[in-house]
Amino acid sequence: MVAQSLADRLRAGMNEARKQRDQARTLLLSTILADIQNREIELGHTPTDDETAEVLRRGIKKRRESVEAYDKAGRAERAATEAAEIKALEDFLPAAVPPDEIRAAVREAIAGGAKDMGKVMGAVMPRFKGRADGKLVNQIVREELAESTKS
């Protein structure tokens, strides 16, 4: 049996939500699928799973920013809705890389001669593309660079 592509899993999730008459989830997934279709037009080919995951991540990032804005505005119910959408979208993403694995890669890059933020990020990010949050990697790089300058 061939593994389902990420886009196929999203379509199946949307169809299931439709059958269950879950309007919020149907709308969420149809919006993401429309974003994926737009990306396909931009690329001129069917997006790979990595490219599809990138579209999903952008959707999640947008919703995280909305949660922050709604929290600041005191609109807890809207923030909760956005947070639920983030959770629903994250369920489709491949498993995230554990922070320990990221930290090991960062230390390896620093040991390999990368001494500034840009060089370390440039060495580490391609290894975890689509499987690690850039903010988390950035935070670990800062911590490890601070450690390496102390010693």
Task: Determine the pLDDT at residue 78.
Answer: 94
Name the 3-class secondary structure at 117: helix
Sorted by where each begins, the domain ranges of the chain are: 6-90, 99-150
Residues 6 or more apart whose CB falls under 8 angstroms from that of 67 comprise 79, 82, 83, 86
Question: What is the C-alpha to C-alpha distance for residues 36 and 28, in angstroms, rounded to an integer?
Answer: 13
Whether the per-residue pLDDT at 1 is higher than 50: the answer is no
Q: What percent of the chain has pLDDT over 70?
A: 96
Q: Does CATH place domain 99-150 in 3.40.50.40?
A: no
Written out in words, the top-level CATH class of the domain with range 6-90 is mainly alpha
Question: What is the C-alpha to C-alpha distance for residues 2 and 10, in angstroms, rounded to an integer?
Answer: 16
Segment of 16-30, 80-94, 109-123 carrying the highest mean pLDDT: 16-30
